[in-house]
Amino acid sequence: MNKKERFCDVDNIVEWRHIITILLALVAMAGQAQTKNTAIVKGYSPALKDSTEVNIYIDNMSVASDTVFSGRFMLSVPVEKLTMSSLFLMGKGCPNYLSTLFLSPGVTVSLMGTDCLHPLWKVDSPVPEQQTINRITEHNSDAIREYLLIDLDDASWDNAQPLPSLL
Does the pLDDT value for residue 157 go beyond 80? no
Q: Are strands 53-58 and 83-90 parallel, antiparallel or unpaired?
A: antiparallel
Q: Any idea which architecture 38-159 has in CATH? A: Sandwich (2.60)
**What count of other Cβ atoms lies within 10 Å of the Cβ of residue 122?**
12
Residue 15: its pLDDT value, please?
A: 74
> CA-CA distance, 43 to 108, in Å (whole number)?
11
Residue 162: its pLDDT value, please?
A: 56
Residue 155: its pLDDT value, please?
A: 46
pLDDT in tens, 128-155: 999 999 999 999 999 999 989 988 876 4
Residue 96: its pLDDT value, please?
A: 87
pLDDT in tens, 52-107: 999 999 999 999 999 999 999 999 999 999 999 999 999 988 998 999 999 999 99
Sequence-distant (≥ 6) Cβ neighbours of residue 75 within 8 angstroms:
40, 41, 42, 54, 56, 64, 65, 66
- The residues spanned by each domain of the chain are 3-35, 38-159
Residue 81: its pLDDT value, please?
A: 96
Residue 29: its pLDDT value, please?
A: 63
Q: At what angle do helices 141-153 and 128-139 cross, to 10 degrees?
A: 70
pLDDT in tens, 11-65: 666 676 777 777 777 766 655 544 579 999 999 999 999 999 999 999 999 999 9
